[in-house]
Amino acid sequence: MDPTEIAHRIEAGFADAIVKVMSDDNTHFEAVVIAAEFEGKRPLARHQLVYQCLGTLVGNEIHALSITALTPDEWRERSSGA
């Protein structure tokens, strides 16, 4: 599975998400998802929202997925080094 296709599927599940998906072997993936929908949600709930976008691909075409799920404010804080 291509990282770009995974990114598009995740983007389709959120209003204005910024999504970056990386992979060295096209079966193990790392995703960074920045979305306002994560506001007030714990990490598990954020990951569940991302998994919902991918459906049955997880565990099949996507063997493993590491997710960093942040709100826009959290992303800005990380990016600024604060």
Burial label for 71, CB within 10 Å (0-12, 13-18, 19+), is middle
Q: How confident is the model at residue 82 (pLDDT cuts 50, 70, 90)?
A: low
36-76 pLDDT, tens digit per residue, is: 999 999 999 999 999 999 999 988 889 899 999 999 999 99
- Is it the case that residue 81 has pLDDT exceeding 80? no
For position 9, what pLDDT does the model report? Answer: 97
Structurally, at CATH architecture level, domain 3-80 sits in: 2-Layer Sandwich (3.30)
